[in-house]
Structure 1
Amino acid sequence: MRPRVAAAAGGAIALVVALGACSENTGEGTTVDTNRQQSGVIATDPKDSQGPAAEVSGAQKGGTLTIIRETPISHLDPQRTYSFAGLMANPLFARYLTTWKDDGKGGLVLVGDLAETPGTNVNKDCKVWEFKIKDGVKFEDGRPITSKEIAYGIARSFDPDLSGGPTYIQEWLADSPEFDTKWDFKKNKTSLPPGLSTPDDKTLRFEFAKPRCDLPFAVSLPTTAPLPPDKDTGVNLDKQPFSSGPYKIAKNQTGVQITLDRNPNWDPNTDPVRHQYPDQFVWSFGPTADAANNRVIADNGADQSAHAFNAVPASLVARVAGDASLKSRSILSPTPSANQLVINNQRVKDLKIRQALNYAIDREGLIKALGGQTVAAPLTTLMPPATIGYKAYEAYPAGPNGDMAKVKELLGGQTPELVLGVADNTTEQQEGAQLKANLERAGFKITLRNISDDAKLDEIKKKDNPWDLYIGNWAADWPSGASILPVLYDGRTIKAEGNSNQSYFNDPTINAEMDRILAMPPADQGPEWAKLDERIMKEHAPVVPLFVDVAYNVHGSKVGGVFISSVFGYSSFVNAYVKP
């Protein structure tokens, strides 16, 4: 779980959960279907976890599909992968214990990937889990994948030199955020962290001190990618990961280009989600978002089978939206990334002021200032529509532009003076200026204070930070309230620095309710998180929900099968193919 990094002004900023909707542009204008509700379940029938994946209509084998991105992928090593580009590239060459079947329309099913099922809750208390490994799964050199290589992959994620990836499993096994001090990988390379065991080659077992009912979701992240110990090159694995997926790294020109060829030892009969349609994938780095999108729009030569990973920039939105020939080559979709005006509850203690801020907000004006509906869609809940069990509500119904009469009533003649901390990047400067004007019209006095962009996240995570308000966003690592509400609003996690709870909200009854829901089976949690979402907002108003990010991408005329991931909000390539 983590906040997203701000994108360039006007560009779509997309992430980590499941989408409320995903719609291909049809020529009727740039509209986003925000009414379709995402659904997600954990598969109970082992057949759902079997391969092969359902064939994609119209897909053919052959060709090279090029993915153009401005900056290189930060990590290819699965245990270190946590960037969105990395999370979309990894499934081409790495498999995990579980994964998501994603229809690209908001429907998700969690299935076994390397595992036969999404896991067995052995004692029905979420403290002991077992996964049985499939027969026939192999590495790129043909050797079988067993529980031991998966366990080794998890064990190496404890190495502080291999940081950067998710830490759920490590923290849960160690029962501590300081997992790398609880078990030393370098001193124990031939053993496993306490709580992780391999009773046999087919069985991987987790034992936790506390219930961890979300484990089937957590093991869908790259932490559980397998690796034989003799192929572990430490930090150099970033250059040449060892494949367990349908493709393998054929060539890596660091920072320039990554070429992936088919892995002949991948068996489609074991894989419920991936295909092996193109002969080759090429990730090409360097062109700006404008340059990449212009190349794809021009649709010449090899760019006919290229996809621009960077979203359509503001400078090209009107052109793409207005060109009927591009409608079949563009994808417009809301993402799971939720943005808020975060209220520092330690400093803004008056509930009426926090409620007044919610009534004051002009979401329509803010979205227009940021670039319109190809950038953002309004949000009035803590969890985005992508979340399993999501329920739409508006705790402070103010219409699209705010309810100034209600603000005046709540303020009762006060003119609250608040400091809004804003990163010094273009996007947040635009957002901050609009929010200042909006809130001052409503009766607040707002002072803008710039924060260095590269320091902002660290600074607002400090408990004693000097701002009353700041702009925040959050994208979960799986489509559950469990990876949103406890992370952002459990007051027991507040410490001196490094806080994800940046509103510094703490209520014992809310904390207890989180514990109750977390101990429930994941399939039962969705509606309970939705109820808690509404309760937190109505009783406490710790933040002002603003908008969810929208993804807007274009591809060449010969690209097929690309969709926006319902989990991560970026282009997924598991169904991609090249048209003849």
Structure 2
Amino acid sequence: MRPHVATAMGVAVALVATLGACSENTGESATVDTGRQQTGVIATDPKDSLGPAPAVAGARAGGTVTVIRETPISHLDPQRTYSFVGLMVSPLFARFLTTWKDDGEGNLVLVGDLAETPGTDVNDDCKVWEFTIKDGVKFEDGRPVTAKEIGYGIARSFDPDLTGGPTYLQEWLADTPQYDTAWDFRANRNALPPGLSTPDEKTLRFEFAKPRCDLPFAVSLPTTAPLPPDRDTGINLGHAPFSSGPYRVSRYQAGVEVVLERNEHWDAATDPVRHQYPDRFVWTFGSTPDAAVNRVIADNGTDQSALSWDYVPASLVSRVAGDAGLRSRTVLSPTPSANQLLINNQRVTDLRVRQALNYAIDRQGLVKVLGGQHVAAPMSTLMPSATIGHQPYDAYPAGPNGDLDKARELLGGQTPELVLGAADSSAEQRQATQLKGNLERAGFRITIRNIPADAKLDEIKRKDNPWDLYLGSWAADWPSGASILPVLYDGRSIKATGNSNQAYFDDPAINAEFDRILALPPAEQAAEWAELDERIMREHAPVVPLYVDVAYLVHGSKVGGVFVSSVFGYPSFVNAHVKP
């Protein structure tokens, strides 16, 4: 979201938004709210960034929250964290320069976390930013967190041995995607990368060659977690991260269990979002989603204060949705994860064919195949509704099941033969089969070619891939068009491999619009992204928007305060507590 933060105190820069509802467990009948209007703001009054976080009604201290998950967390090193599970668990033991206040109903405020505010744009041009670090924030051994340790955390993200995390800060500071060749962390462990400095213990300064107006949002990611150099264990840090948050990792058993217990040196007065209600969080691994959900449904013993991390699987949706007694123990919300039928624009060059694909699509049928409204919600825009600035539109209105006649009209008697690349997983094969039948009724001839599921992402990121169509998804790192549209549709980013622009769409006029909007103040960007979203679809139809994932979670009867993050679409634990 490339924000331009006002420097005057007492100001909040408003960003009008249409955010998908983040529905907390209320006991009411579960429905998916996809049309509620909300507002996102960037807070610059230091009071908004102060703690303590407002008390959660009915919450008390004590107890253990257990999170059941099928697959292990790969590691807990903040600078290497980029998975949804990592992004949701890391705030329990790590703090970042900024963070999001999320009220559980989709309303967002970006506030200072380690910093007193979300940053100062020193010269009002987004090239020089300063963050003043709060007093009173401490590590788990009682040492104070200063700008030096935050700077070191960012510096170690340049280490090529510590890959996997976001690379925004590294690329922006180095002014090149090849950041690890521009500055060698291993040869400069006692220094900071060019452009990053700590004028004093309370000040962290960024200087960029180009405007980076979305820096306050980028520094909300775990890259900015602080670390003293003497506690850096390199690739092993993920086994025992050094805490600056309300909890510390007391046990890490790879592939089996992670236990977090209270950090006695965490000060609630410095923290605007987190609480420290449970005595501990226990993550256990190995149960399939079906087994985990069945355990939580049974609600026996310690599972009364347990949560199944994985969404309710399609095999159990009807059972959970049909049990009125479980409604108070479910959380249902659309997420920011958007799914598209990607069109390879290098191969499918006829605009009318791409438009016909959009008219032909049977979204309701696809949602049914996926498991129904508890699993997916149809979408017709490039940006999901959880994006600040989102405006609903349908460039190719065809009703819930598609307009086959309009598609045939656009094809003008042609029968385009298209190859649909599909992962060989059972879930994607079901989707591919539905899409094949749907599109062939509109006059297309579709051949499905299977791709090994574990190789699919790498394969469709190859510029010379051999498919005309393939399923893709995208979840932004912060809820702005800046982290969606340029990333996915800027043709200047296309390279031989590793492409995020997997539609291989390239239009000079649209590329110029990306540059223009990214240079605007944040209050102006939101509406511009929405307008550009619609323009891209109407003028070019580079993809077919399909659906957003829906989070459908079930928890034990003693779990309280869990809601779906409107930023990442997975359970947030900042308000979690154990009921009596």
**TM-score, length-normalised on structure 2?**
0.96
Distance 1:312 1:481 in 2: 29
Distance 1:535 1:85 in 2: 34
Conservation of the 8 A alpha-carbon contact between 1:462 and 1:498? yes
Query: 1:19 Cα shift?
Result: 5.0
Amino acid at match of 1:230: D
Which residue does the alignment assign to 1:541? Answer: 541
Which residue does the alignment assign to 1:467? Answer: 467
Amino acid at match of 1:521: P
Query: 1:536 Cα shift?
Result: 0.2
Q: Deviations over 1:228-268 (max 9, x none)?
A: 00000101101000000000111111211111111110000
Which residue does the alignment assign to 2:444? Answer: 444
- What SS class does the counterpart of residue 161 from structure 2 fall into? helix
Conservation of the 8 A alpha-carbon contact between 2:244 and 2:266? yes
Q: Is 1:521 aligned to 2:521, yes or no?
A: yes
Conservation of the 8 A alpha-carbon contact between 1:18 and 1:567? no
Distance 1:524 1:51 in 2: 30
Distance 2:68 2:39 in 1: 31
Q: Residue 24 and residue 42 in structure 1: after superposition, are their counterparts in 2 closer, same or farther (change >3 A)?
A: closer
Q: Residue 24 and residue 109 in structure 1: after superposition, are their counterparts in 2 closer, same or farther (change >3 A)?
A: closer
Which residue does the alignment assign to 1:51? Answer: 51
Which residue does the alignment assign to 2:307? Answer: 307
Q: Residue 27 and residue 116 in structure 1: after superposition, are their counterparts in 2 closer, same or farther (change >3 A)?
A: closer
Q: Please show how residues 140-159 of structure 1 align to structure 2 within 5 Å.
A: 140-159=140-159
Amino acid at match of 1:118: P
Conservation of the 8 A alpha-carbon contact between 2:22 and 2:105? yes
Q: Please show how residues 263-342 of structure 1 align to structure 2 within 5 Å.
A: 263-342=263-342
Distance 1:318 1:165 in 2: 37
Conservation of the 8 A alpha-carbon contact between 1:95 and 1:225? yes
For structure 1, which segment, 17-26 or 339-348, has the greater mean C-alpha deviation from structure 2 after superposition?
A: 17-26
- What SS class does the counterpart of residue 337 from structure 2 fall into? strand
Query: 1:22 Cα shift?
Result: 2.2
Which residue does the alignment assign to 2:11? Answer: none
- What SS class does the counterpart of residue 512 from structure 2 fall into? helix
Distance 1:27 1:398 in 2: 36
Amino acid at match of 2:32: V
Query: 1:151 Cα shift?
Result: 0.2
Which residue does the alignment assign to 2:404? Answer: 404
Identity of aligned pairs, percent? Answer: 78
Q: Please show how residues 379-394 of structure 1 align to structure 2 within 5 Å.
A: 379-394=379-394
Q: Which runs of 5+ in 1 are unaligned?
A: 2-16
Conservation of the 8 A alpha-carbon contact between 1:37 and 1:106? no
Distance 1:570 1:555 in 2: 14
Q: Residue 226 and residue 24 in structure 1: after superposition, are their counterparts in 2 closer, same or farther (change >3 A)?
A: closer
Distance 2:55 2:382 in 1: 37
Distance 1:288 1:422 in 2: 24
Which residue does the alignment assign to 1:210? Answer: 210
Amino acid at match of 1:311: Y
Which residue does the alignment assign to 1:193? Answer: 193
Conservation of the 8 A alpha-carbon contact between 1:38 and 1:387? no
Distance 1:25 1:161 in 2: 41
Conservation of the 8 A alpha-carbon contact between 1:19 and 1:565? no
Distance 2:103 2:289 in 1: 27
Amino acid at match of 1:446: I
Conservation of the 8 A alpha-carbon contact between 2:18 and 2:389? no
Amino acid at match of 2:534: E
Q: Please show how residues 234-245 of structure 1 align to structure 2 within 5 Å.
A: 234-245=234-245
Distance 2:114 2:486 in 1: 29
Q: Which runs of 5+ in 2 are unaligned?
A: 2-16
Higher relative contact order (CA 8 A, sep 6+): 1
Q: Is 1:563 aligned to 2:563, yes or no?
A: yes
Query: 1:291 Cα shift?
Result: 1.0
Q: Deviations over 1:324-366 (max 9, x none)?
A: 1110000011000000001111111111110010000000001
Amino acid at match of 1:254: A
Distance 1:78 1:57 in 2: 31
Distance 2:81 2:27 in 1: 37
Distance 2:316 2:121 in 1: 50
Query: 1:18 Cα shift?
Result: 9.3
Distance 1:338 1:575 in 2: 26
Amino acid at match of 2:329: R
Amino acid at match of 1:339: N
Conservation of the 8 A alpha-carbon contact between 2:277 and 2:577? yes
Q: Deviations over 1:184-208 (max 9, x none)?
A: 1000000010000000000000001
Conservation of the 8 A alpha-carbon contact between 2:18 and 2:391? no
Q: Residue 28 and residue 247 in structure 1: after superposition, are their counterparts in 2 closer, same or farther (change >3 A)?
A: closer
Conservation of the 8 A alpha-carbon contact between 1:36 and 1:106? no
Q: Is 1:222 aligned to 2:222, yes or no?
A: yes
Amino acid at match of 2:547: F
Q: List structure 1 segments (4+ residues) > 2 angstroms apart after TM superposition.
A: 22-31, 521-524
Q: Please show how residues 337-348 of structure 1 align to structure 2 within 5 Å.
A: 337-348=337-348
Distance 1:39 1:157 in 2: 33
Amino acid at match of 1:263: N
Conservation of the 8 A alpha-carbon contact between 1:101 and 1:273? yes
Conservation of the 8 A alpha-carbon contact between 2:24 and 2:562? no
- What SS class does the counterpart of residue 435 from structure 1 fall into? helix
- What SS class does the counterpart of residue 109 from structure 1 fall into? strand
- What SS class does the counterpart of residue 515 from structure 1 fall into? helix
Which residue does the alignment assign to 2:10? Answer: none
For structure 1, which segment, 38-47 or 138-147, has the greater mean C-alpha deviation from structure 2 after superposition?
A: 38-47
- What SS class does the counterpart of residue 527 from structure 1 fall into? helix
RMSD: 1.3
Amino acid at match of 2:359: Y
- What SS class does the counterpart of residue 574 from structure 1 fall into? coil
Distance 1:122 1:273 in 2: 26
Amino acid at match of 1:373: Q
Q: Residue 18 and residue 422 in structure 1: after superposition, are their counterparts in 2 closer, same or farther (change >3 A)?
A: farther
Conservation of the 8 A alpha-carbon contact between 1:18 and 1:479? no
Conservation of the 8 A alpha-carbon contact between 2:336 and 2:569? yes
For structure 1, which segment, 245-254 or 472-481, has the greater mean C-alpha deviation from structure 2 after superposition?
A: 245-254
Q: Residue 285 and residue 31 in structure 1: after superposition, are their counterparts in 2 closer, same or farther (change >3 A)?
A: same
